[in-house]
Amino acid sequence: MINEKNENKQNQEVEMETAGRVGLRLGKVSELTVIAPLKEGGAERLRKKLSNNPDQMEVMARIATVHDMRWVIFDDDKRLLFATAYDGDWDAYIDDFGTKIPELLDHFFSEVVDYPGINDPTIKDFIAKHQVTATGWYCAYPNSTVRDIWRGERSLKAFNDLIDAVQGY
């Protein structure tokens, strides 16, 4: 699948390539999927952690390269699937976790067996050990970073506000 060409709606060809150490990149966007065992009782604790803090998603937005993140507890509460799409390279993305939201990542992933902590020197080896490169992956906007999308949304809002003002809404 690596180096396959894909054509998006804007007829711009982008090639599937490696995101760095592990994972795929399509254009400017990369994918990361981790499957890891949970500690005894970790599934229930993680469910509570993910649902108890309404501000946690705002904290995630501190990493302005994150398109999305998903946590899925499966296999009778024994394993966690963590999947995300992000802008750029693998190493830089993992470094962002350690510098921008270390407490939050440690809060969630402390329920994973043998999780060393986001600032532990072995964290990248730990993630790579549990990461699985996607077999198939679709990215609707491979040439648009999160910042590009935010800029587009602000531009569209400003344009719509102008049109509304001219039309007297």
Assign 12 a pLDDT band (cuts: 50, 70, 90).
low
Name the residue with higher pLDDT: 2 or 155: 155
At position 143, the amino acid (one-letter code) is N
Q: Could you tell me if residue 77 is inside a domain?
A: yes
Q: What is the CATH number of the domain that holds 44?
A: 3.30.70.1090
CB atoms within 10 A of CB 131: 19
Assign 137 a pLDDT band (cuts: 50, 70, 90).
very high
Q: Could you tell me if residue 164 is inside a domain?
A: no
Exposure pattern of 73-94 as b/e (b: 16+ CB <10 Å)?
beeeeebbebbbbbbbbbeebb
- Residue 8 pLDDT: 47
Residue pLDDT, tens place only, 15-57: 889 898 899 999 999 999 999 999 999 999 999 998 877 677 6
H or E stretch covering 68: strand 66-74
Q: Could you tell me if residue 165 is inside a domain?
A: no
- Residue 61 pLDDT: 74
Predicted model pTM? 0.82
| Domain that includes residue 81, residue range | 5-143
H or E stretch covering 162: helix 146-167
85 and 133 in contact (C-beta within 8 Å)? no
Q: Could you tell me if residue 157 is inside a domain?
A: no
Q: Could you tell me if residue 162 is inside a domain?
A: no
- Residue 54 pLDDT: 65
Q: Could you tell me if residue 149 is inside a domain?
A: no
Q: Could you tell me if residue 169 is inside a domain?
A: no
What's the structural domain count of the chain?
1
Q: Return the percent helix, strand and coil in the chain, to nearest 5.
A: 40, 25, 35
Question: CB neighbours of 153 closer than 8 A, spacing ≥ 6?
Answer: none
Q: Could you tell me if residue 161 is inside a domain?
A: no
* Res. 74: pLDDT tops 60: yes
- Measured between its terminal Cα atoms, the distance across the chain in Å is 50
